[in-house]
């Protein structure tokens, strides 16, 4: 998510083309880029469990929204990458939950 946020923050031409293709305004790019970056940083920080829950929720909403937008514009032909990102985020959340549970037992 953090690496994908860099083109958004810098408003690279390729990111602009994707956003325009999906029908969103270009001014949304830096906002989403900063939000993705903050979410990714929050997930990497070992503490702040409540904030981490919000970061996972925000990134999930972002990825689900992206998947929905791609399906609406392009059909099901281009959903492999967003679905893969959703799966990776889900696995990360599950592992974080297990680590948190183990820490609570000790």
62 touches 32 (CB < 8 A) = yes
Per-residue pLDDT of the chain in tens (106 residues, 90 and over written 9): 889 899 999 999 999 999 999 999 999 999 999 999 999 999 999 889 999 999 999 999 999 999 999 999 999 988 999 999 999 999 999 999 999 999 888 7
Number of domains the chain is built from: 1
Which conformational region is residue 45 in: left (phi greater than 0), alpha (psi within -120 to 50 degrees), or beta? beta
34 touches 2 (CB < 8 A) = no
Rounded CA-CA distance 18/75 in Å is 15
Range of the domain at 37: 2-105
22 touches 70 (CB < 8 A) = yes
pLDDT of residue 1: 87
Q: What element of type H or E holds 41? A: helix 28-44
State the pTM of this model: 0.89
């Amino acid at each position: 998510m953090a690496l994908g946020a860099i083109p958004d923050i810098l408003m690279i031409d390729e990111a602009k083309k994707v956003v325009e293709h999906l029908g969103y305004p270009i001014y949304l790019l830096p906002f989403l880029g900063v939000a993705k970056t903050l979410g990714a940083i929050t997930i990497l920080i070992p503490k702040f469990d409540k904030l981490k829950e919000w970061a996972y929720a925000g990134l999930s909403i972002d990825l689900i929204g992206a998947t929905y937008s791609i399906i609406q514009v392009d059909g099901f032909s281009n959903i492999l990458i967003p679905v893969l990102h959703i799966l990776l985020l889900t696995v990360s959340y599950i592992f974080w939950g297990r680590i948190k549970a183990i820490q609570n037992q000790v």
